[in-house]
Every structure is written in C-alpha cells, then in structure tokens.
Amino acid sequence: MGASGPAAPAEAVMKRIYLDHIAATPVHPAVREAMAPFLAGTFGNPRSFHAEGRDALAALEEARGKVAALIGAEDAEIYFTSNGTEANNFAIKGLALGRQAQGTHIVVSAVEHPSVLNPVKALGKMGFTSTIVPVDGAGRIDPGEVAKALTPRTTLVSIMTANSEVGTIEPAAEIAALCRERGVLFHTDAVAAAGNIPIDVKALGADALSLSGDQFYGPKGAAALFVRRGTRILPLLDGGVQEGGRRGGTENVAGAVGLGRAAELARQEMPGRTARVAALRDRLLEELPARVERVLVTGSREARLPHHASFCIEFVEGEAMMLSLDMQGIAASSGSACASKSLKASHVLLAMGLDHATAQGSLVFSLIDDTTREDIDHLLDVFPPIIDRLRRMSPLFTQYLKEKGR
Amino acid sequence: MMYSDKVMDHFANPRNVGVVEDADGVGQVGNPVCGDMMTFTIKVKDDRLEDVKFQTFGCGAAIAVSSMVSEMAKGKTLEEALAITNDSVAEELGGLPKNKMHCSNLGADALHEAIKDYQARREGAPPREAKPMDAHEHEGQVCPYCDHALEPEDKVFCRACRVEFEECPSCGGITKKGDRACVHCGKPLGPDAQE
C-alpha cells in the first residue's frame, strides 16, 4: 500500500468487484420483477382447484416451458428441484435404483461434484459398485476411458458438462453416444454449464441433465432435473402428485418463476454475454501468468467456460489470497484445503495430477455479466503486490529462491 | 467463515516475518498437504529469546497464529516460551474457527521445535535443516450412526447426531457413551465390562 495522502472521497466506499459467479450470480432485476407477485399477492398452491391455485399452476407451467426451451427439452421432461445437489441426487439415485434389476454398476469421473460422487458412494452401501474414470492434466475426460469402464452390469454413467473448478468443458456428447450404443443411461451435471453455454439435450443425447438457476442470474433454491420422456426414475422425495409424482412436495412457485425467467433471459442474451465475458476471461488468462512468475492456468484453454479463469499460484495458499483480495474489494474463490470446511485439497486438482502444495494455491475468478475491463485491470494491478507479500512470508518460496540461487 | 478482528489484524500486518540470520534454533511444523507449514527461527541470549522470526505457508489463521506466537515469545525466557500453548495463542487471538484449530494452530509447536533445536545444539547436535515433515492423516474416525467424519478434536462427539462417544477398550472403535456394548465388536462396556 505504502504511504498515501488522505483518502479521496471516492475511495471512502470501496467498489466491490465480484468474481465468484460459480458460487452464485446476482439475481437479474427482470427475474426479481417476475418473482415479486409470487412473494406477495399470488400465493396459491398450484395443486389447489380454485382460482388462487390455478394462477399459481399457470405460472409454474409457464416457467417449466421456459426452462425446457433453454435446453431443447419438452415441458413434461422438466422436474423442479430445490438446488443442483438435489437434482444430482435425484438423477443418480433415481436412475440407478430404477434399473437395479438390470445391473448395479455406475461410472463417474474423478472430477464430478460431491453431489454426484457422494450419492454414488451412498449407493455403494446398498450393493452398487462404481468405476471412477480418470482425467488428463486439463481435467478432460477421455471418452475411451469411459468405454473401457463399461461392463455388462453398468446401467448409468454420469459425467459433468463442464467443471466449475477448472472451467473445462467435457466431451459429454461423445460419451452420451457411446452410452446409448451400449444401452446405458447417461446423466450429465450441467449446473456450471447451463445458462452459460448453449445446451440442447437432443443434440447432446443425455437421458438426464441437472441445472441450477443461481448459475445464471436466477434465485437460489430453484433448480431442475431434465429426464428424457420414457426414462424410469424413482423419486427421491416420495409424497403427493406434484411433478408427476416424481418429486413430492409443494412447489417453490416464486423460485420456479424466477428460474424460468432467468432461463428465458439466458437464451436471449447468451451470445452477447459470452462474447463480452470470454474476451475479459482471455485477458485474465493471458495477463495474470505474465505479471506474476510461477502461475499456472488450470483446466483446458480451448474447451473452457466463457466466464471462467482458474489458476494455481505456487508457494502461496488459496485462502490467504482470497482474504487479501477480499480486503481489496475483490471476491474470488479457491479449492485449497484451508478454504474448504473439509480441510482437504481439491479432488479435482489432485485428479489432474497436481501435487498438494501446488493445489493449495488454487484461485478461481468467475466473471459475471457486468464485469468490466476496468475491473479486470484493477485486479491485474492489485494482484502482483498481494502475491509478493504472501510469498515473502512463505518458507516454500524462500526454499525455491535458494534452489534457484537467488 | 468469520475471523476475529485480531486475527485479521495479524494477517494484514504480521509481526516478525522473515528468517533470523545465523539462527540459534530452527523449528518447523506442518506440511503443504494439510495446507499449512510454519518455520520459526530464533536467536537466544542469556536464556532469553532475543529475536523470533517466522515464515508461514498457509491460510489466514496460520499466518495470524505465527505472528501472534512470535509476538508472545519475543523477549521471554526459554522456560516462559515453552509454556506458551497452541490454545493460549488461539485465546490471545480472540478465538479461531473450530475447523482451524487442528491444522492452522501449530505456531507454539513450531516455536517449541526451534527451542528444542537450540537446546540440542548446545549439547552438541548438528543444526537442524528445515524441511517439510510428513503429513498427518485426516482420514480419521467416523460417527458409527451417520458416517459424518469426526474431526480429531471432537472424536468423542458427533456434531451431526449430537451424540457423545467413547473409544471401545476392546477394539478401539468409536461407540456411544453409556451404551452397554460396543457397536462394532459387541464387547460389553462400562460397568458390564468389569466382570
């Protein structure tokens, strides 16, 4: 920081630069507006046979249509859930248990979200077996490895559309095609991808797909699972007739309406959003390693989410970087052990072959729609001194300098 | 997650960062596997810590802990410095988040290692080379009821089930306190075990 004069009034309130899209996006004003009536006057239960109920049902079904349109699905193939985790649990457990008579083997990748890996682990206690397919250094899954993992007992493959920690877009369509050939169901966790890159479930060939509104300017608590018509799936929540009897419980009407409006906006605005954020992402991916030594870009450079820039900064730890950035008004995220409650380094980075020390320096910037060139420039300016300060404290950096003879 | 103001102060303005030239003792704890590694170097004069410096690779808590330890130890006699505990450091910092108590709160240990190194050198041992230690394992016991991982410091209590446990003297497994038999090996527990 150094000695500076009295703070200018403009600096009195620091502008926050929010670069943690993958944790949550702000709710779009148009989404808020669409939801407002359902938090006030229109309160009916969509399953009630009176005017209040009918109003709620009409709004719910309109929202379902908008979510379906975002991914090229039919309205009846969309099931509202309360979040991406529920959608993934519903898919993994519902599809695997629905086909239990045909087989009990599941294939997933090593970089799946815990809401996919842990349901598979839970099914393991009920007699299911699984194969975890490895990834390459860019976090990419080789469809050939998935093919090798299939056995006559395999009934379900779940591979994510894109990874939220390293931004890599997976070859989901290729994997879906080979699953179809072998008569195996294919689910894809598209929570990080849907609303951010174009997805068409027919072109993709997925039997099930999870998405969540808080990844594309919708509200939290509103997500959905697409299940191809005619696919057997057992409910996760047994209850009444809601969602075709496949997901019991009174629907979150306001949330679904918000999700629907966000899906509609994503469909309309995606080309503009993508072009804008991808240019800023590329600047960050280029400039950050150019301004600080020993910084590596994690994930694929080519097949990458447009809003996603991720790095490992050697000799420093992620949470310390996050705190330092936060003090400068910048919100980012990290997959370091310390930044996680579990105190374990990111399973994604370790699966990509990074060593523990490097994985601890994980830092993810995920851009939102109103991120500006000035925001990125500001980040690029404040970043080198932050790293310099932390590295001067780091025994690993001292060791590195000593080995380099500096 | 929330850090106290004192932790944030020590993180933002850490005291005594660096390496003491011609140190009389070097102590190192932790490993990058756990996310935290601390190196302390000390200068001793007339049985007192004339200078204490640290370097830390780790999270905000680890940096603040190291800084606080250096501040607490500087100028103290070796005996006084050896009486500093990880818990007293955490207390001095206005508390630490529960999940940081295990990995990040190792500053006093690193200081004690440096003092032990100094004492060993006085008895003719060669100076210690600072190098990363073996990682300690996080894969510990799990709650037998819900499979929730029990963190080392709360081995006797599952935060998810809110049940208190004890170690079975027969098999070493974690079992519910007050139960008459171990949930794992079925051997009698408590008063029934006396027969």
Instruction: For chain B, give every domain's residue range.
Output: 5-122, 152-194
CATH at residue A20: 3.90.1150.10
Side-chain-side CA neighbours of A75 within 13 Å: the count stands at 9
A319 and B60 Cβ atoms separated by less than 8 Å: yes
Q: Report whether pLDDT(A364) > 90.
A: yes
pLDDT value for A340: 62
Are residue A67 and residue A164 in the same domain, yes or no? yes
Query: To the nearest whole percent, how much of chain A has pLDDT over 70?
Result: 94
- A334 and chain B: CB distance < 8 Å anywhere? no
Annotated catalytic residue B103: yes
Beta pairing partners, A227: A208
CATH at residue A196: 3.40.640.10
Catalytic residue from among A126, A338, A357, A393:
A338
Are residue A202 and residue A341 in the same domain, yes or no? no
pTM above 0.95, yes or no: no
pLDDT value for B131: 52
* Alpha-carbon separation of residue A267 from A68, A256, B94 (angstroms): 11, 16, 49
> Crossing angle for the helix pair A84-98 and A114-124, nearest 10 degrees?
30
Assigned domain for A68 exists:
yes
Are residue A254 and residue A399 in the same domain, yes or no? no
Annotated catalytic residue B171: no
Q: How far is B191 from chain A (nearest CA, A)?
A: 34
Q: Which two tokens stand for residue A219?
A: 């509200």
Assigned domain for A222 exists:
yes
Mean pLDDT of B135-160: 59
Residue with the two structure tokens 């702000």:
A26
Q: Which of the two residues, A13 and A223, has the higher pLDDT score?
A: A223
What is B5-122's CATH number, 2.10.10.90, 2.40.340.10, 3.40.50.300, 3.90.1010.10? 3.90.1010.10
Q: Sort out which chain A residues have CB atoms less than 8 A from B40's CB and list them.
A: none
* Alpha-carbon separation of residue A375 from A19, A286, A378, A384 (angstroms): 9, 16, 5, 15
Are residue A382 and residue A349 in the same domain, yes or no? yes
pLDDT value for A15: 87
pLDDT value for B101: 74
pLDDT value for B105: 77
Distance separating alpha carbons of residues A301 and B24, to the nearest angstrom: 49
Beta pairing partners, B77: B48
Q: Which of the two residues, A340 and A257, has the higher pLDDT score?
A: A257
Q: Sort out which chain B residues have CB atoms less than 8 A from A357's CB and list them.
A: 32-33, 57
Distance separating alpha carbons of residues B61 and A404, to the nearest angstrom: 29
Q: How far is A394 from chain B (nearest CA, A)?
A: 5
Q: How far is A162 from chain B (nearest CA, A)?
A: 27
Give pLDDT tens digits for A297-345: 999 999 999 999 999 999 999 999 999 999 999 999 987 666 665 557 8
Substitution target in A121, A294, A333, A343 with the highest count of B β-carbons within 10 Å is: A343
Q: Sort out which chain A residues have CB atoms less than 8 A from B32's CB and list them.
A: 355-357, 360, 396
**Residue B88 CB contacts under 8 Å (≥ 6 apart), including other chains:** B72, B108
The total domain count for chain A is 2
**Mean pLDDT taken over chain A:** 93
Q: Which two tokens stand for residue B34?
A: 């756990």
Print the domain residue range for A168: 29-266
Are residue A277 and residue A324 in the same domain, yes or no? yes
Q: Sort out which chain B residues have CB atoms less than 8 A from A344's CB and list them.
A: 138
Concatenating the DSSP letter of every residue in A136-191 gives: -TTSPBPHHHHHHH--TTEEEEE--SB-TTT-BBP-HHHHHHHHHHTT-EEEEE-T
Q: Test A338 with B11 for CB contact under 8 angstroms.
A: no
Q: Which two tokens stand for residue A229?
A: 């018509």
- A110 and chain B: CB distance < 8 Å anywhere? no
Are residue A233 and residue A352 in the same domain, yes or no? no
Q: Report whether pLDDT(B134) > 50.
A: no
Q: Report whether pLDDT(A158) > 80.
A: yes
Lowest mean pLDDT segment, chosen from A1-10, A152-161, A382-391: A1-10
Lowest mean pLDDT segment, chosen from A61-65, B81-85, B146-150: B146-150
As to burial, measured by CB atoms within 10 angstroms (0-12 exposed, 13-18 middle, 19+ buried), residue B10 is buried
A135 and A167 Cβ atoms separated by less than 8 Å: no
Q: Report whether pLDDT(A128) > 80.
A: yes
Q: Which of the two residues, A2 and B27, has the higher pLDDT score?
A: B27
Query: Which B-chain residues 15-54 have CB contacts (< 8 A) with chain A?
Result: 17, 19, 28, 31-39
Write the residue in B17, B28, B61 that is nearest to A392 by C-beta.
Answer: B17
Assigned domain for A238 exists:
yes
Side-chain-side CA neighbours of A37 within 13 Å: the count stands at 10
Assigned domain for A103 exists:
yes
Q: What is the DSSP letter of A88?
A: H
Q: By C-alpha distance, which of A80, A86, A87, A126 is closest to A106? A: A126
pLDDT value for A84: 97
Write the residue in B37, B38, B138 that is nearest to A344 by C-beta.
Answer: B138
